[in-house]
Structure formats: C-alpha cells, structure tokens
A and B are shown apart, each in its own frame.
Chain A
C-alpha cells in the first residue's frame, strides 16, 4: 500500500509566522496534492504537482506556496500565517494504475493559528 506521511500532526503557530507542512510518499508517484478540509466545505484543493519542480494552483492557492524539489516530497508553505488558515491540511499522492486515479491521503495536519 502507498504510504503518505505528514511530518506534523498538530501545530500551533502565531499570526505572521512562516509555516512549513511537509509530506513524503513512499511510492514513485508523480502526482501530489495539498488539500484543506473545513466543516461544511469538504476538501478544497490548494496546490498540486504533477512532477518534480512542477506545480499548479488549485482552487484556493491564496496565502500558500509549495515546493517539490524531489519526487517523494511535497511541501506546503504558509508565508505569513493568518487565523483564517486554521484548518486541517491533507497531503495526497495519486496512483495511476489498474485501480484508476486513486488518491492516497496522509493522516492530516491540524494547524491552529493564534
């Protein structure tokens, strides 16, 4: 099974701080994603990457940036954290094979900005 690991499960940061959320996948998957999940809004795509050093904006990229220097690692960066970025962040990797375009999610990172 694919393993997607998010380095931090719970974080508390101050407004204005720079925040890094790290994600590593152990299969050779080209596609990686960052979503945020909020009650009543489902999962919203922040950024995705279809290969190393390639990145594309999702539906809500404002206030975020990403980095994909190596295939297995996809980082989400909050340049200057704000309270409205308090959320659960989910990293995911996509497997494209016999099962189709299945997305495998990490455990999630709960970020609170105070």
Chain B
C-alpha cells in the first residue's frame, strides 16, 4: 500500500544548529502537510504544500515540495529548545476520498 518514509528517525542537535527532515512517498501525492507533536502532546498542523516545487517559510522553518510531488523536506534554521518534538509529514492521496498517509516521524531533541 501507500507508504511515506521519513528520515532521520531521530536527531539530536545543539541549540543554534540547523535541522532537516526528509519525507519520501512511493507514489505521487496531491499535497503534503507537516505536523509537529510536542512531547506528551498531540500532532498540530503546521502547513500544507500543494504545488510542484512549492517552497513556503514560517519564520525559521522552510518547507519544500518536490518537483515530482513525491518528496518533501522541512528545514529549521538555528534551532531553539522550543523546536523539540516530533515532526510528521503527511501525504495527501486521492482515492475518491482524500486520505492522508503519515510518515514515520522525526524526533528532534535540542540541547541548550
């Protein structure tokens, strides 16, 4: 079935370092969404990308959707301790009803 792989599974950085997580789908996606889950919390929507090659920024976060609409990335510049959490991508798959297939998540730990 539809799979969305995410790497790395875990990353530990020093505060101020950059961080990137990558998402790859086995099939073409209609859109990609990104969610953040703080420790002990629930996933919270960050952003949606729809167009091929689209790039969006939210302050220190940069999101990209690949040209083939099969991969995506989230890059955080100069991480802060408040960035700690697990980041999930979720690919939109149109099969009559649009399903979201979640990636396996990347857990980010930031040391001060």
Contact = CB atoms under 8 A, between A and B. Distances in A.
Pairing of A with B? yes
A39 to B, nearest CB: 9
Q: Determine the interface band of chain B, counting residues with CB < 8 A from chain A.
A: 20 to 34
Interface centre among A42, A43, A105, A106 (most CB of B within 10 A): A42
Interface in B41-66: 41-45, 48, 50
Contacts of A106: 42
A67 B102 CA distance: 23
A24 B75 CA distance: 34
Tell me the dominant secondary structure on chain B's binding face: strand
Given A50-B97, A56-B97, A101-B100, A42 B48 contact: no
A42 B33 CA distance: 14
Contacts of A59: 1
Contacts of B48: 99-102
B24 interface: no
Tell me the dominant secondary structure on chain A's binding face: strand
Nearest to B42: A105
Interface in B68-106: 88, 90, 92, 97-105
Contact of B102 (A43, A48, A101): A43
Interface centre among B33, B41, B42, B45 (most CB of A within 10 A): B42
Interface of B: 1, 6, 9, 31, 33, 35, 41-45, 48, 50, 88, 90, 92, 97-105
Interface of A: 35, 40-45, 48, 50, 56, 59, 90, 99-108
30 contacts: A35-B102, A41-B104, A42-B88, A42-B102, A42-B103, A42-B104, A43-B43, A43-B88, A43-B90, A43-B102, A43-B105, A44-B102, A45-B99, A45-B100, A45-B101, A48-B99, A50-B97, A59-B1, A99-B45, A99-B48, A101-B33, A101-B48, A101-B98, A101-B100, A102-B45, A103-B33, A103-B45, A105-B44, A107-B41, A107-B42
Given A41-B104, A43-B88, A103-B100, 4 more contacts: A42-B102, A45-B99, A99-B45, A103-B35
